[in-house]
């Protein structure tokens, strides 16, 4: 029964949950919380599928009797007559499916991280040859006829601005847009994007992961805008985005312009009311439920068995 509940939830989470999250437009008012919610939804769906496989293969009461520690669990399994060799083939197949889900998700994210690191290393070598560092900006200036401002994440993080951008932006606008890129670097947004991209590649065709990738790409830009707006006037950020809207940053970098620029300009000029404390708490609670819910459902029979076992022992004493 528990395995069926978890499996049904995993299916619903990957198909129907993204529709509900998309309709929750409050994420524009709290991008960081929105990112957390999307990542929690992805983790919840994957965890549910894995735990459904485990619940199919492993008896719940065996887990319950051994929850005190790993050693107790091993002895409890033996005491209860649990014999791996006697497990039916269906149980082994269920565990195999769970293991494959873990490996597949990890390989998707790992592939993106490795590829991104390789491409960024190549781009960094190009910047060392063609760019020149401006200590006043703490950035590399690149001779290029398209206005671009972007950051190159990683161990040797760099911010890059083209000569065309320097010509089209005022000093105040340059400072504002570089603060946006600095927010990307400090927030390690490239890792969030790598996770979203990796999961969408690992599980193509599933709406949750495709929507999560698209939304996280948008929300990290909103988050960087908000951080920059803490130190620079919003009008300066909006003006800079107007000049950089059509620019496309190199692959595996984070640029200030792009497809989301127009909506972000409107957001900078007409800021929404921040979330109230009650709304923030509700969002945090939703993240907690998504992360802990599958584990709580999976452990419910085990906890029941554990309580029943100890209550029985106390009664005998």
Q: What is the pLDDT of residues 226-248, one digit of tens each?
A: 999 999 999 999 999 999 988 88
Report the pLDDT averaged over residues 200-222.
94
Q: Where are the domains of the chain?
A: 2-316
d(CA 278, CA 276): 5
User: Could you count the other beta carbons within 10 Å of the beta carbon of residue 99?
Assistant: 13
- Cβ proximity of 255 and 249 under 8 Å: yes
User: Could you count the other beta carbons within 10 Å of the beta carbon of residue 233?
Assistant: 12
Q: What is the pLDDT of residues 25-68, one digit of tens each?
A: 788 899 999 999 999 999 999 999 888 887 777 655 555 444 44
Q: Write down the pLDDT at residue 180.
A: 96
pTM: 0.84
Q: What is the pLDDT of residues 80-93, one digit of tens each?
A: 544 555 556 666 67
d(CA 219, CA 270): 17
- Cβ proximity of 178 and 139 under 8 Å: yes
């Amino acid at each position: 029964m528990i395995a069926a509940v978890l499996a049904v939830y995993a299916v619903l989470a990957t198909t129907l949950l993204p529709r509900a999250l998309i309709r929750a437009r409050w994420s524009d008012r709290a991008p960081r919380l929105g990112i957390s919610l999307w990542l929690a939804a992805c983790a919840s769906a994957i965890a549910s599928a894995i735990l459904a496989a485990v619940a199919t293969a492993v008896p719940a009461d065996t887990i319950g009797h051994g929850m005190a520690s790993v050693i107790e669990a091993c002895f409890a399994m033996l005491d209860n007559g649990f014999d791996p060799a006697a497990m039916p083939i269906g149980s082994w197949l269920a565990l195999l499916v769970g293991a494959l889900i873990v490996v597949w998700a990890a390989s998707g994210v790992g592939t993106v991280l490795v590829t991104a690191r390789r491409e960024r290393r190549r781009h960094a070598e190009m910047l060392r040859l063609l760019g020149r560092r401006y200590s006043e900006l703490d950035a590399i200036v690149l001779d290029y006829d398209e206005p671009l401002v972007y950051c190159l994440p990683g161990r040797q993080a760099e911010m890059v601005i083209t000569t065309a951008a320097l010509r089209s932006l005022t000093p105040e606008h340059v400072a504002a847009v570089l603060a946006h890129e600095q927010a990307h670097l400090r927030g390690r947004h490239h890792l969030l994007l790598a996770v979203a991209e990796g999961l969408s590649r690992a599980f193509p065709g599933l709406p949750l992961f495709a929507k999560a990738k698209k939304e996280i790409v948008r929300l990290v830009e909103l988050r960087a805008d908000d951080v920059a707006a803490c130190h620079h006037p919003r009008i300066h950020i909006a003006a800079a985005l107007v000049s950089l809207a059509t620019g496309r940053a190199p692959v595996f970098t984070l640029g200030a312009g792009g497809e989301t620029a127009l909506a972000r300009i409107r957001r900078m000029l007409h800021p929404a009311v921040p979330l109230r404390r009650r709304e923030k708490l509700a969002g945090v609670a939703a993240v907690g439920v998504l992360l802990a819910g599958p584990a709580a459902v999976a452990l419910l029979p085990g906890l029941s068995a554990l309580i029943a076992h100890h209550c029985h022992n106390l009664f005998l004493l």
